[in-house]
């Protein structure tokens, strides 16, 4: 029983690494080739902003003074 659980956990981990990270990143990099440099820089700068907004509004995490990085 324990060995089957071991392989199940590692198969889920490999699935997340390959499909959730590597392929998504590859699609992102490939899409940048068809965009202008201005659009590419805007996309690159919107990613951290969307991550913060998702964390604050969807996950209800506080965003205080220390997160501003002043």
Give residue 40's pLDDT.
Answer: 87
Nearest-angstrom CA–CA distance, 27 and 19: 11
Q: Which residues contact 67 (CB under 8 A, 6 or more apart)?
A: 52
Domain housing 29: 2-68
Give residue 66's pLDDT.
Answer: 81
Q: What is the DSSP string of 50-62?
A: HHHHHHHHTS---
Q: How confident is the model at residue 1 (pLDDT cuts 50, 70, 90)?
A: low
Nearest-angstrom CA–CA distance, 32 and 5: 40
Q: Which residues contact 63 (CB under 8 A, 6 or more apart)?
A: 52, 55, 56
Nearest-angstrom CA–CA distance, 11 and 19: 12
Report the number of distinct structural domains present in the chain.
1
Per residue in 21-63, pLDDT tens? Answer: 888 889 888 988 898 989 888 888 888 889 899 999 999 988 8
Give residue 54's pLDDT.
Answer: 92
Q: How confident is the model at residue 20 (pLDDT cuts 50, 70, 90)?
A: confident
């Amino acid at each position: 029983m324990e060995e089957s659980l071991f392989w199940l956990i590692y198969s889920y981990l490999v699935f997340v690494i390959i499909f959730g990270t590597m392929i998504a990143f590859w699609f992102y990099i490939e899409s940048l080739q068809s965009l202008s440099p201005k659009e590419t820089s805007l996309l690159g700068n919107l990613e951290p902003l969307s991550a913060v907004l998702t964390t604050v509004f969807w996950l209800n995490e506080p965003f205080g003074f220390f997160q501003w990085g002043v």
